Amino acid sequence: MTTSDPASSKAAAQPEFTNQPDTAAQPAAPRGIGPMVGAVFLMATSSIGPGFLTQTSVFTVQLGAAFAFAILLSILVDIAIQLNVWRILGVSGLRASELANAILPGLGWVLAVLVAIGGLVFNIGNIAGTGLGLNALAGLDPKIGGAISAAIAIFVFLSKRAGVALDRIVAALGAIMILLMLYVAVVSRPPLGEALKQTVMPEQVDFLVITTLIGGTVGGYITFAGVHRLIDSGHTGPENVRHLANSSIMGIVVTGIMRVLLFLAVLGVVATGVTLSQDNTAADVFYQAAGEFGLRAFGLVLWAAGLSSVIGASFTSVSFLTKQGFDEKKRSWLTVGFILISTVIYLFLGAAPQALLIFAGAFNGLILPLGFGIVLWAGWRRKDLLRGYNHPTWLLVLGALVLVLTICMGARSLTGLAALWA
């Protein structure tokens, strides 16, 4: 792996393309580790939202220990995607939509619209999740709880130090989720031996389940949440490639731990033979594992997952729709508008939140190949956009294999999407 002299890279001619960021408006230098920690947890908490809690609970009930294979596959896909995305985008200093426009003018806006639509669908589910969380935690009406949570997210983006607030809040929410899921995973006493066996030798494989899980944890806006935060904070360029790589690895580790803990918690309850509620499976899991405390713990976990995902989905979706250098106050108000639209739709939505959350994951899984394919193409064919950085070939090969896998799984799951609403 080699990098060019940063000074000479900046002096190199840049190709003209629509959505080229205003370099004068970019931060001159990275500002400490706060944004890096925030980016790690923004990635992790965006991927472990209400959708993942719901999906994991529902699918573990359906597949039992065999769902461990889907968890493993989602983590492997996450590794291949995030190691490529963080390095390529971070080194280039371009958001995904900007990179796409550099490759083919207009392509970035197509990607931006698709991601924004997927982010909006997911955000409706995220707000629904916060409502369900506060319902379990404090008995509030889900719609009232969702509206309150949306107001908190809006406050984050309207605060004078929105970036700092974002970093600290998502880190705190992530820590709460990990600790509570660890507790429930321990008290539920899952069959670890069977889980390990099914991880590598599953009794059944469901492509819709795998695609939905990957879409809910990697797809759509989630792929780019963490690295877009680092780009905004100035942690870019070949000189920061080590920090970019380490941050992506930390995010993968945190995300993987959270996925495994939740799966084990649900599996421990399912293994007892208890029939779980179909309306709110995840809540019933925590209740069966730890009684009244478990139900309250679930409420807090779901609320934390929902709120952090509302913040992540809104921030990342709007980052696709705006250029770097865009007025920060205006971008904050656009983000607020995004949250308000999501909230209004949720308040008037008639569909069951659980079905919506599962559909959102599947939809974002279909968007994933396009966004990831663009990033890989830049790594292979557009090294001029990488400021002299040579991206490791083994990562590109690994990414290409995963890209083919996501395309195949997305194609096979298309017929299954309609069944969710049948």
Instruction: Report pLDDT digits (tens) over 168-210.
Output: 888 899 899 999 889 988 998 999 999 999 998 888 888 778 8
Confidence of residue 399 (pLDDT cuts 50, 70, 90): very high
pLDDT at 323: 84
Using a cut of 0.85, tell me whether the model's pTM lies above it. no
Asked whether the predicted pLDDT for residue 35 surpasses 80, the reply is: no
Q: Give per-residue pLDDT as tens, 150-166.
A: 999 999 898 877 778 88
Mean pLDDT, the chain, rounded, equals 82
Measured distance CA(364)–CA(45) in Å, rounded: 16
Residue 223 identity (one-letter amino acid): T
Confidence of residue 361 (pLDDT cuts 50, 70, 90): low
**How many residues are given for the chain?**
422
* Longest alpha-carbon distance in the chain: 66
Measured distance CA(285)–CA(274) in Å, rounded: 9
pLDDT at 30: 46
Neighbours of 227 (CB within 10 A): 29
Measured distance CA(413)–CA(54) in Å, rounded: 19
- Under DSSP, the state recorded for 26 is S
184 phi/psi in degrees, rounded to 5: -65, -35
> In the chain, where are the structural domains located?
34-419
- Under DSSP, the state recorded for 187 is H
pLDDT at 365: 66
Which CATH number is associated with domain 34-419? 1.20.1740.10
Q: Give per-residue pLDDT as tens, 120-140.
A: 888 888 898 888 889 888 888
